[in-house]
Chain A
Amino acid sequence: GAVVSQHPSWVICKSGTSVKIECRSLDFQATTMFWYRQFPKQSLMLMATSNEGSKATYEQGVEKDKFLINHASLTLSTLTVTSAHPEDSSFYICSARDPKASPRSEQFFGPGTRLTVL
């Protein structure tokens, strides 16, 4: 199946700094990618939909100025956590769908990025 990668797999940063997480579709072009956040022992929460060449669509309650999303190419979306604080520590996961497949095809998820803010 299609492969989605994320980089880095884990990152530790100081409070107040910004962290960029990359999501790449390795063997297909994705016009749409999705970003999720998952706290310990909780389910995945959809944060935003990343659209190639246009602005991201954020879910209710997600601060767009806090979580900057850029989808500059058909294989890369980035999530930047700006001025990170300890409460932003979480597991961030992206997913993508191959637009050439049926609309009912599965989404492919990245392995996730563990962010720890000290």
Chain B
Amino acid sequence: DAKTTQPPSMDCAEGRAANLPCNHSTISGNEYVYWYRQIHSQGPQYIIHGLKNNETNEMASLIITEDRKSSTLILPHATLRDTAVYYCIVRVDGATNKLIFGTGTLLAVQP
């Protein structure tokens, strides 16, 4: 699975949009981009995933560049409860379905 690069930390004001970037320049054509988050001392939570089209659900939007080498997770109106570590993971939908976590981005939403 391709390697991802994320900034170690970001701050965001409460109520503003949080834009979390992820670089995956070695992504293959059949690899999906997944986003999970982990609130302190809890298990990770799925947010969203996509292949090449932009995706939106009730939690967030995922913008994938045309060359698929990077993506941005957007939380449209960040709240204090969105403070967490956000993980960008790239993987093929193979039989193993393993998720390999990188270091992620610690998003701190400030009041």
Binding site for B on A (CB under 8 A): 1, 4, 6, 32, 34, 36, 43-46, 49, 91, 93, 95, 97, 103-104, 106-112, 114
- Inter-chain contact count A-B, CB under 8 Å? 52
Are the CB atoms of B44 and A43 closer together than 8 Å?
Answer: no
Closest residue of chain A to B103 (Cβ to Cβ) is A43
CA distance A95 to B41 in the complex (A): 15
Q: Which label, helix, strand, loop or mixed, suits the secondary structure of the B interface?
A: loop
Inter-chain CA distance A10–B42, complex, in Å, is: 12
**Interface of chain A: mostly helix, strand, loop or mixed:** strand
| B44 touches which of A1, A45, A109, A114 (Cβ 8 Å) | A109
Given A43-B104, A104-B32, CB of A32 within 8 Å of CB of B44? no
Choose the segment among B11-19, B20-28, B76-84, B90-98 that binds chain A (4+ C-beta atoms closer than 8 Å): B90-98
Nearest first, the 10 closest Cβ-Cβ pairs linking A and B are A106-B46, A109-B43, A44-B101, A103-B93, A43-B101, A109-B44, A93-B43, A104-B93, A112-B43, A111-B43
**Chain A residues with Cβ under 8 A from B96's Cβ?**
49
Binary contact readout B67-111 vs A (1 if CB under 8 angstroms, 0 otherwise): 000000000000000000101000001001111111110000000
Using CB atoms, name the residue of chain A closest to B46.
A106
Nearest-CB distance from A53 to chain B (Å)?
16
A111 to B93, CA, bound (A): 25
Per the bound structure, the CA–CA distance linking A97 and B94 in Å amounts to: 13
A32-B97, A104-B49 are known; give 10 further A-B pairs, CB within 8 A: A44-B101, A46-B98, A46-B101, A104-B93, A107-B99, A109-B43, A109-B44, A111-B42, A111-B43, A114-B41
